[in-house]
Amino acid sequence: MKQLYLLASISKQAHHQGVQRLHTQRQKEQVYVRLIEEIRSIHPGMGLRTMYDMAAPDGIGRDAFIALGLREGYRLKAVEQHTRTTQSIKTNRYTNLLSGCRFTTVNQLWSSDITYVYCLNRFYYLSLIMDVYSRRIIGYHLADNLRADNNFSALKMALHLRGITDYEHTLIHHSDKGSQYASDLYTDTLADYGIRISMCIEVYANTHIERVNDTIKNQYLLRMEISSERQLQQRVAKVMETYNTQRPHQSLPGRMTPVAYEQYLTTVALPDRIKMQIYTVQKDHQHEDPNQLKLVFS
């Protein structure tokens, strides 16, 4: 060994110190890998960067954490299938009300949509309602069909959660032109609660809820092992709770969770809150992007 130390131009002490540092580093990496495993067990589709931001582990930088996760085989694989959930109605009864609107609190804009989950060799359809200002999912319902009463069940959950009997036309319910949202039961209920109805011309103009759909389906449900419809219903309920209370949201200040953000808002005076403005561009065939919906914080 003395000859090897001489050839390497290092001392015995330096060699042992290097071995000890390597051993310590490997022990730390094992801790980080266990952390990744624990997070993935709860958030099966969460990316390594989001994991790092959420856990903020000591002793390792973001790039090193991501590199370690990739080296250990935690790269996410895309999962996607396609089916149609929107049967649009041809009506001008409801228009897009979001142009130029500014929002400063919850219960000013709800957005709703339907996504699908292929599970147990069949399609299930998940109706979601989200409060756009806080990004909180406030209503949902899973069914094996696209009947309008499923969306109504999600709406009832949202109304019950908020506990307000009359919104006095201060709340907008926004959706695509799916026939489920134009049913008499659905629209009459919105009218009874003083909720204004807004519908977009194109399905891709409902971007806020579309992002949630992608997260719930592709980062959670499609990555879980599910053996029965009852278990699927349980998983859906758990995922909604996880999304609202545990998952940090990139669009919220301080990457808070939706529920934490709503709690934070109770401490902030209305004039001091972030103003959310939604810009809509009407169809113009002279532009490459004729119908665009984007959100900015000002």
- Domains and their CATH numbers in the chain: 2-71 (no CATH), 102-297 (3.30.420.10)
User: Shortest CA distance to 124 belongs to which of 203, 243, 232?
Assistant: 232
pLDDT at 292 over 90: no
* For residues 163-186, average pLDDT: 93
End-to-end CA separation in angstroms for the chain: 66
Stronger pLDDT, 113 or 296, i.e. the higher one: 113
Angle at 38 between CA 35 and CA 39, to 5 degrees: 90
pLDDT on residue 298: 30
* For residues 197-208, average pLDDT: 75
pLDDT on residue 284: 36
pLDDT at 156 over 90: yes
* For residues 139-155, average pLDDT: 94
Q: How confident is the model at residue 210 (pLDDT cuts 50, 70, 90)?
A: confident
Q: What percent of the chain has pLDDT over 70?
A: 78
pLDDT on residue 191: 96
Q: What percent of the chain has pLDDT over 90?
A: 41
* For residues 141-157, average pLDDT: 94
pLDDT at 8 over 80: no
At 256, the amino acid letter reads: M
pLDDT on residue 252: 93
pLDDT on residue 204: 54
Query: What is the tens place of the pLDDT at every residue in 43-71?
Result: 777 778 887 887 777 778 888 888 888 88
pLDDT on residue 290: 35
pLDDT on residue 285: 37
pLDDT on residue 224: 86
Identify the burial level of 266 via C-beta atoms within 10 angstroms of its C-beta, where 0-12 means exposed, 13-18 middle and 19 or more buried. Answer: exposed
CB contact at 8 A, 181 and 200 = no
* For residues 82-97, average pLDDT: 63
pLDDT on residue 218: 85
Q: How confident is the model at residue 85 (pLDDT cuts 50, 70, 90)?
A: very low
**279 φ/ψ angles, rounded to the nearest 5 degrees:** -105, 130
Q: Which residues contact 171 (CB under 8 A, 6 or more apart)?
A: 107, 108, 109, 110, 193, 194, 195, 196
User: Shortest CA distance to 81 belongs to which of 243, 212, 235, 217?
Assistant: 217
pLDDT on residue 288: 39
